[in-house]
Chain A
């Protein structure tokens, strides 16, 4: 069975500081990994995804994530955050087992302070 753990429920950070949101997964087979962002009162939208190939994945809004198979991690980073990055961030995993399901982590609330 697949599972996802987001290690921080809340991450406060000052504007223009770097940020890392941590995600660990478990799976017995090859996986696909995703980061989604949810702005207040909106649905989720894709930030980036890892399917295969280069372990460093670049997404929208200056975010990037690194797939680390040995540590089963897929941490999300941004070198300099803006107030507008304040949102809930979800890590998700899917694969060829698990019956077509995508498993979402519990979310990390990123709060950017001026």
Chain B
């Protein structure tokens, strides 16, 4: 059983399109995250939800909209895709917001915008 899963693993699309990435965790964790990893491997937090409530919302274009239907799922919808959105997007979860808990990462979704 995969602890944190993401779909799709690869996503190739054209500029201007709208796409979604889905994430699910079966660890019973309260907190979930979206990260963007650029081509230089730099990892940047985008959003975090705790029990379906948004608690971190970094400086991210409003074309990106997260949705958490329940605490086991956190999806990311991206409108009007741009070339600069090409990256690997990671979902992660942790037991709760306590900063001492480690994060469990999904396998990543490689988004390529052409």
Please give the residue numbers on chain A whose beta carbons come within 8 Å of chain B beta carbons, in ascending order. 32, 34, 36, 38, 41-46, 49, 51, 88, 90, 94-96, 98-102, 104, 106-107, 109
Contact = CB atoms under 8 A, between A and B. Distances in A.
Contacts, number: 59
B42 A106 contact: yes
B55 interface: yes
Contacts of A106: 40-42
A43 B90 contact: yes
B107 A43 contact: yes
A88 B41 contact: yes
Given A100-B55, A104-B43, A107-B41, A42 B107 contact: yes
Interface of B: 4, 31, 40-43, 45, 48, 50, 55-56, 90, 92, 97, 99-100, 102-108
A45 B31 CA distance: 17
Contacts of B31: 100
B100 A94 contact: yes
B90 A100 contact: no
Contacts of B50: 100
Most buried by B among A44, A94, A104: A44
Contacts of B106: 43
A36 B56 CA distance: 21
A45 B105 contact: yes
Nearest to B105: A43
A12 B55 CA distance: 39
B36 to A, nearest CB: 12
Contact of A32 (B42, B55, B100): B100
